[in-house]
Structure 1
């Protein structure tokens, strides 16, 4: 065994003392999202206690254990897709960060730059960051009640106008916009799917700037749309969370932060 020098011995004692102090006063990890992001310009739009500032069907939406919960039960009588709509404005260019968890049979999404329909309760029309429990569509860009699919997961697309313009449904084929032009492959759709956590927490980050719409999930770019369709694109509108018509399901949401540009 190599003898310990006098200097090394005192270094060892100092290090031991520091470790002992650290054990007595361990550094605690923080879950305070407000403090982490307070210098980034993000603002919480959910108080963690109530649905103040939101508008939705109270038979579907509630707050439970600090989470927004949207749930369909066997007794639910939902006839059309329904949304919990933020009443705080109509963001144009922005970033939105949300943690979500959804049951396997669930179908949901985050609508943005959307308009509210007057003839259907709690219904929105507009861009949607798709979420589903089987992770078949999670991360793609689907335009609710409008041009349908604008980019599948793993795609960067350009959305071209149709000439001459006409009824939107005339330009939809197989639930996708005919003007969808693939400009770049962002990754294999099924490989990207492996990065998503089934029936567990995932993090959605939307980066919306002008005609460019980016959907990140768990830090990975899942889809990107460049909307060149001057007739049909939207530059601002409502935010909302969706519960889709279908079997019993539950979607949970937390850490909802918005930064407008």
Structure 2
């Protein structure tokens, strides 16, 4: 057996080990899901086998190794952000747990209490638990196609109503530097860079959203990253669609698994 053949066999062996490791991790994760469903009242809303119960563009969404995969390639670049949307309900008060893994170039997010846009297929407008591969925004509360940033990572913020809600263009006028201006940071949850260090790059992280009344809490790996108290009765929403996103930009890949929901 020559050296080249030995190298090829070694590479095949390593790839096989990695595939076995991935399958083992997913099996363990699925067992954890079942345990939490039994004990804590969380119900899986993604079966790990198909896109049943979800609607999105199959050009960007698929199931692979038990994971919900969103991918943009050089030949499928986006003109608009696109989502895969859960068809089961429009939750109001709930808890959501899931795990994500995202490429360094990736940009994604979990939308909730959102509305569908009529003029853009598979687009959502509403609250988003932001996720990105460079971990610049992961953990913050960003309102997609609406009030923009409501709370950066490390902030507890109260959102008040805008002054002139009936004035045309007033929503856009109240946004500056991609952040909503009628917000008050009332407490620190920690330094943003220190919190960033708790988020794993290009590895699995767990998100836990606790959404109750007008209080919106985003946890990553068990740590509270942002909290919004939304007192803006003009612009806030109290129920709506749930979905996950792939964002306009360079080619990217994001994976989600163990998506579990509990009504409150």
- TM-score interval w.r.t. the shorter chain? 0.7 to 0.9
Distance 1:162 1:255 in 2: 38
Q: Is the 8 A contact 2:158 2:228 kept in 1?
A: yes
Deviations 1:95-142 (A, max 9, x none): 000100000000000000000001001000000000000000000000
Deviations 1:62-98 (A, max 9, x none): 0001000000111113110000000001000000001
Distance 2:251 2:131 in 1: 16
- Aligned to 2:173, what secondary structure does the other structure show? helix
Deviations 1:208-252 (A, max 9, x none): 000000000000000000000000000000000000000010000
Q: TM-score, normalised by structure 1?
A: 0.88
Distance 2:173 2:130 in 1: 23
| 1:81-230 map, 5 Å | 81-165=81-165, 166=167, 167-230=170-233
Structure 1 segments, 4+ long, off by >3 Å, are none
Q: Is the 8 A contact 2:37 2:44 kept in 1?
A: no
Cα RMSD for the two superposed structures: 1.0
Distance 2:119 2:37 in 1: 39
Name the one with the larger helix percent: 2
| 1:228-247 map, 5 Å | 228-247=231-250
- Aligned to 1:233, what secondary structure does the other structure show? coil
Report what 2:19 is aligned to.
none
- Aligned to 1:232, what secondary structure does the other structure show? coil
Shift of 1:41: 1.1
Question: Which stretch of structure 1 is more off in the superposition, 226-235 or 159-168?
Answer: 159-168
Q: Which runs of 5+ in 1 are unaligned?
A: 1-28
Shift of 1:170: 1.0
Q: Which runs of 5+ in 2 are unaligned?
A: 1-26
Q: Is the 8 A contact 2:77 2:250 kept in 1?
A: no
Shift of 1:30: 5.2
Larger radius of gyration: 1
Q: TM-score, normalised by structure 2?
A: 0.87
Distance 2:60 2:95 in 1: 26
Deviations 1:32-69 (A, max 9, x none): 11123312111000011000000001000000010000
Report what 1:258 is aligned to.
261
Q: How many residues align?
A: 233
1:62 to 2:65 alignment: no
Distance 2:224 2:76 in 1: 35
- Aligned to 1:169, what secondary structure does the other structure show? helix
